[in-house]
Amino acid sequence: MPPKPSSPPHAPTGASLYALVPAAGVGERSGARGPKQYEPIAGRPLIAHTLAALGAVERLDGIVVVLAADDADFERHAAGLDCRGVRCGGATRAQTVRNGLAELLAHGARREDWVLVHDAARCLIRPEWVDALIDACLADPVGGVLALPLADTLKAEHDGRVAATIDRHAKWQAQTPQMFRIGALADALDKVGAAVTDEASAIEAVGGAPRLVPASLENFKVTWPADFALAERLLRSRA
């Protein structure tokens, strides 16, 4: 996808903003019949809701979806959506994101540009939440993540029983998008390897302190079988 025309009012530093959606997994915990990103929810494939919301964020200069090498379904499920699918997914999320960053750089993005990495399975994302993240991070030296302060009491488990109660003070649940400079994120992922489960962890591992931007409980990741019904109800209530 060629970059959209530059828009100085939304990027005073001259940096462009890209969304990167890792979608190379199958979602084994979801109970779906195939890759969960293509499961129907509220009349559309799950990933179509995600991409439609990102496509409504006017300040994004492009959306790239990173797919498995053997994905034969994406174009059918994403028909009519303003995005580009690339088949360079890795064995882990971190590898998939790193390959996607390389794809962005190979097609005109610069290391100083911003990338917003968003889970394909967070299909309830709203454009205004993405805009809030952009507003909070454009002038930040590190970047940041959408996140939610923990409200529940946390328990550590051992052998199916409570082993300890964990202090929830100052603890947040990380969501996506997670917004960082392309070069900084690529370098961090190269240093920390494939084990990290989100981009902020990689930035933290090399000494960065990402900004926490308050988000919504609705921005949950469809993971378990029951999550599909909840996402369906919420999406239909919006309509």
Phi, psi of 62 (to 5 degrees): 175, 155
pLDDT number for residue 14: 87
| pLDDT tens sequence for the chain (239 residues) | 444 433 333 444 589 999 999 999 865 554 456 688 999 999 999 999 999 999 999 999 999 999 999 999 999 999 999 999 999 999 999 999 999 999 999 999 999 999 999 999 999 999 999 999 999 999 999 999 999 999 999 999 999 999 999 998 999 999 999 999 999 999 999 999 888 999 999 999 999 999 999 999 999 999 999 999 999 999 999 97
The rounded distance, in Å, linking the Cα atoms of 60 and 128 is 13
- Residues 104-121: b if buried by 16+ CB within 10 A, e if exposed: beeeebeeebbbbbbbbb
pTM of the full structure: 0.90
pLDDT number for residue 83: 97
The rounded distance, in Å, linking the Cα atoms of 146 and 216 is 9
Domains, the chain, in order of start with CATH, read 8-238 (3.90.550.10)
* Residue 155, number of CB atoms within 10 A of its CB: 11
- Asked if omega into 141 is within 30° of 0 (cis), the reply is no
pLDDT number for residue 10: 43
| DSSP string covering 128-184 | HHHHHHHHHHTT-SSEEEEEEE--SPEEEEETTEEEEEEP-TT-EEEEEEEEEEHHH
CB 116 within 8 A of CB 20: yes
pLDDT number for residue 25: 80
pLDDT number for residue 8: 34
The rounded distance, in Å, linking the Cα atoms of 234 and 231 is 5
